[in-house]
Amino acid sequence: MTEELTRPKKKNPILRTRLPTLPPGARSRVALGLTAAAAEGRFALQSCRDCGAIQYPPREACQECLSLRLSWKKQTTTGELLAQTVLHHSNDLFFRERLPWRLGLVKLDCGPTVVAHLHSGIADAPVRVHVSARLDRAGQAVIVATPDKESTMAEDRQMREFTCDPKFRKVLVTDGKSPLGQALINSLAKAGADLIWVGHSEPWKKFPGFDELKKIPQVTLIPLDVTDSKSVRELAAEIGGKVDILVNNAEFHRAFGIVNRAGVETARAEMDVNYFGLLRLAQEFGPAMRARGADGQAGAVAWVNLLSIYALANFPSHGTYSASKAAAHSLAQCLRAEMRPAGVRVVNLFPGPIDDEWNQLLEPPKLSPENLARAAVNALRDGIEDVYPGDVAQEWLERWRDNPKALEKELSS
């Protein structure tokens, strides 16, 4: 039933580019719990802390015991498709452009009945299905049902709307010099990216790994210095209207905090790359990508930022770096809001220490560039927007969510 993803036809420049539309994005505040979990790739439903009842749609109180003590808990992801329909009519522009659209009513094994988007590989009801929560183009969670856990999202016409799969897409990676940049390029090439523009800030120099990069057929090296407004502007003028996925991995990282360093030059350099670099890229590439949110099967879909788990809480031994990542995180939230009308997803990566030069003195575990690159590509495929890859990031996140003040004290000792 699934249709293989085929290479999109070359664009006819004379034809009008369709403007992006979004699925209905209004949600009550309580329903955003589904979105919060889906943003990290989890399927969670409201569960009562007093009687244990699991409920959906989200409510302000437990429908069994009226307790107000509700929390979002990870649930089993299986159920039975009770009934299905194929819509041939919709009241909404987004769906109207995508008819026919298949939907189902699924009785979850954990209790509630849910309405879900159906993968075309699912047989007629009654049949067992796998469910998950995904972000749609409006950035809000929806429940989708697939034949099983391993079903390919991108190869289904409807499911593709919830993913940003790099296959057949044109990608800009802003820094090809770092080990992470090279790992990202390899992962994207392996995932079937059509074209990968790779920025290097000092084009007159040959960097380690340069020859290997040149061997990857999709790669084109291009000069790009994110601290130079002119450089960013010129590149955007050249390829801005073609980039489907922008991966901003350029970063400047030095250790130390405040008292062990004299002057502001290092901190300024960190801000110039990590914060202003993102701002320059966003100002130059953002408008073009926003205009191409519905540009056929391979329109602009995603913007990936390399942040850091230190963006959540300052890590004093890398204090100024943490501050620049916190600034970038805040700016990325602004970018997410501004890209939303086009349905372009902003994916933020919050890794713990990467196993590279500037984290030399940090104790393991450290995240290998390859694992981080794989997490980034998986996030694009699965429609995740906040990625906390690796054990350190997961642990920091848990400590931060549990008690941010405690984490601050722990990090300062």
Q: Which is nearer to other proteins, 23 or 351 (CB)?
A: 23
Among 116, 131, 367, 373, binds other proteins (CB under 8 A): 116
Q: How is residue 72 written in tokens?
A: 């979002």
Among 117, 167, 345, 374, binds other proteins (CB under 8 A): 117
DSSP secondary structure string for all residues of 331-392: HHHHHHHHHGGGTPEEEEE--S-BSSGGGTTSPSP-B-HHHHHHHHHHHHHHT-SEE--HHH
Collect all residues with Cβ–Cβ distance below 8 Å to 252 and sequence separation of at least 6: 269, 270, 272, 273, 274, 324
Residue 248, classed as helix, strand or coil, is: strand
Collect all residues with Cβ–Cβ distance below 8 Å to 91 and sequence separation of at least 6: none
Burial of 412 (0-12, 13-18, 19+ CB in 10 A): exposed
Among 8, 24, 192, 257, binds other proteins (CB under 8 A): 24
Name the helix (H) or strand (E) containing 115. strand 113-118
Burial of 364 (0-12, 13-18, 19+ CB in 10 A): exposed
Among 2, 17, 54, 58, binds other proteins (CB under 8 A): 58
Minimum distance, C-beta of residue 83 to other proteins, in the bound complex (Å): 4
Q: Which is nearer to other proteins, 43 or 56 (CB)?
A: 56
Whole-Å CA distances, 26 to 94, 105, 140, 142, 164: 14, 21, 8, 12, 22
Q: Which is nearer to other proteins, 116 or 278 (CB)?
A: 116
Q: Does the footprint of other proteins cover residue 138 (CB under 8 A)?
A: yes
| CA pair distance 173, 74, nearest whole angstrom | 34
| CA pair distance 49, 70, nearest whole angstrom | 6
Q: Which is nearer to other proteins, 32 or 216 (CB)?
A: 32
Question: Between β-strands 113-118 and 141-146, what pairing exists: parallel, antiparallel or unpaired?
Answer: parallel
Minimum distance, C-beta of residue 41 to other proteins, in the bound complex (Å): 19
Q: Does the footprint of other proteins cover residue 63 (CB under 8 A)?
A: yes
Among 45, 131, 142, 235, binds other proteins (CB under 8 A): 142
Minimum distance, C-beta of residue 321 to other proteins, in the bound complex (Å): 39
Q: How is residue 8 written in tokens?
A: 């999109």
Size of the site for other proteins (CB under 8 A): 40
Minimum distance, C-beta of residue 90 to other proteins, in the bound complex (Å): 5
Q: Which is nearer to other proteins, 113 or 229 (CB)?
A: 113
Q: Which residues within the stretch 236-265 sit at the binding site for other proteins (CB under 8 A)?
A: none
Q: Which is nearer to other proteins, 84 or 248 (CB)?
A: 84
Minimum distance, C-beta of residue 400 to other proteins, in the bound complex (Å): 28
| CA pair distance 354, 362, nearest whole angstrom | 10
Q: Which residues within the stretch 27-56 sit at the binding site for other proteins (CB under 8 A)?
A: 27-28, 31, 56
Q: Which of 102, 85, 100, 94 is nearest to 146 (CA)?
A: 102
Minimum distance, C-beta of residue 156 to other proteins, in the bound complex (Å): 15
Q: Which is nearer to other proteins, 105 or 239 (CB)?
A: 105
| CA pair distance 357, 270, nearest whole angstrom | 16
* Site string (68-107) toward other proteins, x via CB under 8 A: --------------xxxxxxxxxxx-xx-----x-xxx-x
Residues that bind other proteins (CB under 8 A): 23-28, 31, 56-58, 63, 82-92, 94-95, 101, 103-105, 107, 113-117, 125-126, 136, 138, 140, 142
